[in-house]
Structure 1
Amino acid sequence: MGTVVLGTGSCLPERIVTNVDMEKIVETSDEWIRTRTGIEERRFGGKNEQNWQLSATAARRALEAAGVDPKELGLIVVGTISSHMMMPSTACFVQAELGADNAFAYDINAACSGFLFGLDMADKYIKADPEMKILVIGAETLSARLDYTDRNTCILFGDGAGAAVFGAAEGRGFLSSFLRADGGLWELLYMHAPESTNPDLRVNGSTGPLIRMSGKEVFKYAVKAMASAVDAVMEKEGFTPEDVDIFIPHQANMRILTNLTKRLHFPEEKVFINLPKYGNTSAASIPIALDEANRAGRIAKGDTVLLCSFGGGFTWGAALLKW
């Protein structure tokens, strides 16, 4: 038995924020953003579009596509770094909203790799209990975590949620993964917590819960790490780019994507990219792209799907699935 995707769904906020709109917020220009990132617009959450609400809508769409009732779920996992509350988790809010009474629920904090880590974990649970059906979500409202005076970061990120329902099936499913982390490089991409009320536990130099990034250094590590993860998982399965039907990388930055696909020798027609429309949605990036590719007919039963990601921590990895 293998762990298969039974259905996918996604949800994007209604508000579209173009590069021209960003010109009114921070010192930048449409041309500057396009040439350096490939991003044309992104979505920012509005009223009734909290992280858990976007998650729940994406989840409902995935459950409908899968033909699975919420009460059939045994587990809900949400990859996010922008939950609207520290506690309860976004996953608990989603569980309550869906009425998934039989599911336990928790969040994963692995930044942009959150969905990929959740997928790997779902595979382990389903291998232990093939009767389980698991909902994995990647969701972010990073518009609430941006420093709008920092043009190098605030132009990159957007909000959204993507979801997939997983179950067991014969003859296809999750093949393998390669996951890694390096906490020693945290200072290149991080976000502080709110200030501690205990003076002894306050972090010197904390700038609050806003994304901070050393872009050039992150670029260098991201391409190398994702390429090594893809190489490792492909070697594990004895695959070459010719064996992969569609490659869905984390939608971080067009320069990263271009360098990554060239380094891996993947033809452009096999690489799914929606970065220009949404920017970097962190943990939501891969599941949103997966849902769009699925609904556009880019993935057929039996296809080999390759996923890879890189995020703060650092965290990174790759996974192969037989659809």
Structure 2
Amino acid sequence: MSKLNSNVKFGVGIKGMGYYVPDKVITNFDLMKDIETTDEWIREKIGIVERRRAKDTETLTDLAVEAGIRAINNANLKPEDIDLILLSRVVPDHINPPTSCRVQYRLGAVNSGAFDIDAGGCPGSIYSLSIGANFISSGSYKNILVICGDILSRSFLDYKDRNSCCFFGDGAAAVVLSRVPLGKGIQTFYLKTDGSKYDKIMVKAGGIETPLTVENINNRDLRYLRMDNKATWEFATSVFPESIRYVTEEAGYKLSDIDLLLSHQANINIIKTSMKVLGIDMSKTYTTIEKYGNTVGASLLITLCEAYEKGKISNDSKIALVSFGSGVGWGAMFMKWVGRDDFI
């Protein structure tokens, strides 16, 4: 599916945005104390200079609530105005119940339903935006809070594995989706999965197939995230251009019409390579990977927030978004930015 439901009653726009990253900064030189790597290698191969790490006392709920409050305030709304909360994450605070329920309570969103979305983490930004957009466009809800966040530093990261621990940082970001007139806001979206590559980015232990026994916990290859970086590169540099082309053409535009193209912040070289394939200059993107690393599903929304703060986005800007990650799954979205006066 690419366009919003044919029976739409409303367009969908982003009314408010906010993000939160922990205070603690982890530089490449900090990582060099534990693993065999160099600042030069990480900068050159990934594009990261530093990333953020949550305190031992911080939970996903803490990060999500802070990002959510900022987005709600930015939308000039109150928590009780939110009808539904979608929380996209990899690692919840607890296996059960859903972390979104805790977030709903802490926010004071007393009129809201809430559920978690597990879309492989990194693709979760586009997946959750698309789900929320369909609820809004159908007239089912008026204001939906989408939050993406993760704390991988205390869960899946192996600080002895250079191929994974260098990439990730902790953080959360949120947007409020609300009604706008038909024809404005989100135009098209694209969701795709290739389960044949299920094991290319994977944490093997912790589920039904490989439970967290004492033996499995002590096995680093089972307990921690493992990535096939070559396969991930090939996958990402293929689906990035493909997805952007699709949503842009479906929206009735050409690639040259795009004012701003924002990507999941996985690797600066994936972004550079894909932009080159598309024939779009790097001046038409914005990155945050250098200072926050890969914040999983939050990375695209953090980048969107910062791009707006930096004046990269104005009313009617034509914006393309793309995210990709484990599963493997990916998605893209095309929107025309809406101003404050457009919301209904």
Same fold judged by TM-score > 0.5? Answer: yes
Task: Deviation per CA, 1:182-224: give whole Å up to 9, x if none.
Answer: 111011111234252799xx9xx89444211000111001110
Higher deviation after alignment, 211-220 or 77-86: 77-86
Deviation (angstroms), 1:321: 1.1
**Match of residue 27, structure 1, among 30, 36, 47:** 36
For the 8 Å contact 2:123–2:331, the answer to whether it is kept is yes
Deviation (angstroms), 1:107: 1.1
Is the aligned partner of 1:196 residue 2:208?
no
**Match of residue 124, structure 2, among 103, 111, 114:** 114
- Other structure's SS at 1:52 match: helix
Q: Distance in 2 between matches of 1:57 and 1:31?
A: 34
**Match of residue 266, structure 1, among 280, 290, 297:** 280
Is the aligned partner of 1:161 residue 2:151?
no
Number of residue pairs aligned between Structure 1 and Structure 2: 320
Structure 2: which amino acid aligns with 1:196? P
Give aligned-pair identity as a percent.
35
Higher deviation after alignment, 42-51 or 68-77: 42-51
**Match of residue 46, structure 1, among 51, 55, 66:** 55
More helix by share: 1
TM-score where L is the length of structure 2: 0.89
**Match of residue 228, structure 1, among 222, 242, 245:** 242
Q: Which residue of the partner structure matches residue 96 of structure 1?
A: 105
Q: Distance in 2 between matches of 1:168 and 1:264?
A: 32
Structure 2: which amino acid aligns with 1:277? K
For the 8 Å contact 1:78–1:115, the answer to whether it is kept is no
**Match of residue 190, structure 2, among 159, 178, 198:** 178
**Match of residue 124, structure 1, among 119, 134, 137:** 134
For the 8 Å contact 1:17–1:41, the answer to whether it is kept is yes
TM-score where L is the length of structure 1: 0.95
Task: Deviation per CA, 1:248-293: give whole Å up to 9, x if none.
Answer: 1010001111111101111111101111001111101111111111
Task: Deviation per CA, 1:76-123: give whole Å up to 9, x if none.
Answer: 001110222112222111101101111111111112011110100011
Structure 1: which amino acid aligns with 2:128? G
**Match of residue 73, structure 1, among 65, 79, 82:** 82
Structure 1: which amino acid aligns with 2:211? S
Is the aligned partner of 1:306 residue 2:320?
yes
Q: Distance in 2 between matches of 1:52 and 1:75?
A: 16
Q: Distance in 2 between matches of 1:197 and 1:77?
A: 28
Structure 2: which amino acid aligns with 1:228? E
Structure 1, unaligned stretches of length 5 or more?
none
Structure 1: which amino acid aligns with 2:187? L
**Match of residue 158, structure 2, among 147, 153, 168:** 147
For the 8 Å contact 2:125–2:323, the answer to whether it is kept is no
Query: Residues 44, 206 of structure 1: CA spacing in aligned structure 2 closer, same or farther, 3 A cutoff?
Result: closer
Deviation (angstroms), 1:167: 0.4
- Other structure's SS at 2:111 match: coil
Q: Which residue of the partner structure matches residue 56 of structure 1?
A: 65
- Other structure's SS at 1:81 match: coil
Structure 1: which amino acid aligns with 2:188? S
Q: Distance in 2 between matches of 1:68 and 1:154?
A: 38
